[in-house]
Structure 1
């Protein structure tokens, strides 16, 4: 297994990506890179009226994520380890849930050009969860712009994420069932995850903690 320089934590809205990324960065003394999603001026309107604001929201995210990933690759030359709470490929997953056919054609033209310049992470950690748990997490953190997220939208997004990562092969991949763990507040749960992450492997590895 090659040395890991970049770990990306992925998963659907509300699964705990940023929380785990913060913990990992501290544990391995790596540089933390967080997605700048709150800078998107269309996000709140998108959750209120997805059809009207989908294209503007997605293009803003695409450009923002692209330039942040380019900066991340420059950082990678000087830092041993980087932990991020997203990967560039997530943009297409969100686009699939929101854009109509014509919008998707234009979106893909831009995304495919950008993607050629992006290096995949060395390790992707995909946090899986069911929709009910995700909805609970979203409600408990109380972000104003997320209050209009509905179950159907989240379910569609969750399914797209699951399908994507079941066939993902661009990096080493660790899939974690996070339904029955609390790595933020439970030290034993966190230790389980850290032990799995620290164990070298190649390809895809599944971790389903005991209930």
Structure 2
């Protein structure tokens, strides 16, 4: 993790290290949470900061519909209330996020997993976003 490839300018990931901290805050308590925080603080200094974070934001009903559509076994018993809490925690986190440039994409009306979505406009937004926070509301697909 600490060593980066000098010949590769682009790294794309669907994971943000702080994501685990959000889930830890929702699922751990007391001593477990305290231990997690200690480990998190030791590890986070070694994690490189991304050039851009993209937050795919949606309301809970849209997220719930996507979970059901995917049909993943480990997601089937997820309660709506828990999904609501996760969504609220992520929205709160990114409301205050200022570590790197941030692109918030409203995905309520688009299906990024669908074959029909034209990614070119989103790719242009990503390529042109350099500083601060930007909100992007793509046209529905």
**TM norm structure 2:** 0.90
Pair 1:166-2:95 in alignment: yes
Q: Structure 1: how far apart are the matches of 2:12 and 2:5?
A: 11
1:162-211 CA distance string (max 9 Å, x none): 111111111110001000112332234x2331221122431111112245
Give the structure 2 partner of residue 176 of structure 1.
105
Q: 1:88-167 maps to which residues of 2 (within 5 A)?
A: 88-167=17-96
- Distance in 2 between residues matched to 1:158 and 1:76, nearest whole Å: 34
Which deviations, in whole Å up to 9, do the C-alpha atoms of 1:70-122 show, x marking residues without a partner? 2xx53443422111011111110010110112221111011111111111111
| Aligned 8 A contact 1:130 1:179 in 2 | yes
Distance in 1 (CA, whole Å) between partners of 2:134 and 2:80 is 29
Report how many aligned residue pairs link the two structures: 139
Change in CA separation of 1:186 and 1:106 when aligned onto 2, cut-off 3 Å = same
1:76·1:82 contact (CA, 8 Å) conserved in 2?
no
Unaligned 5+ runs, structure 1: 1-69
CA RMSD across the alignment: 1.6
Contact 1:126 1:174 in 2 (8 A): yes
What SS does structure 1 have at the residue aligned with 2:64? Answer: helix
User: Where in structure 2 are the equivalents of 1:63-74 lying within 5 Å?
Assistant: 70=1, 73-74=2-3
Contact 1:124 1:171 in 2 (8 A): yes
Contact 1:173 1:203 in 2 (8 A): yes
Alignment partners' CA distance in 2, 1:154 and 1:200: 30
Structure showing the higher helix proportion among its residues: 1
TM-score (norm 1): 0.61
Partner of 1:77: 6
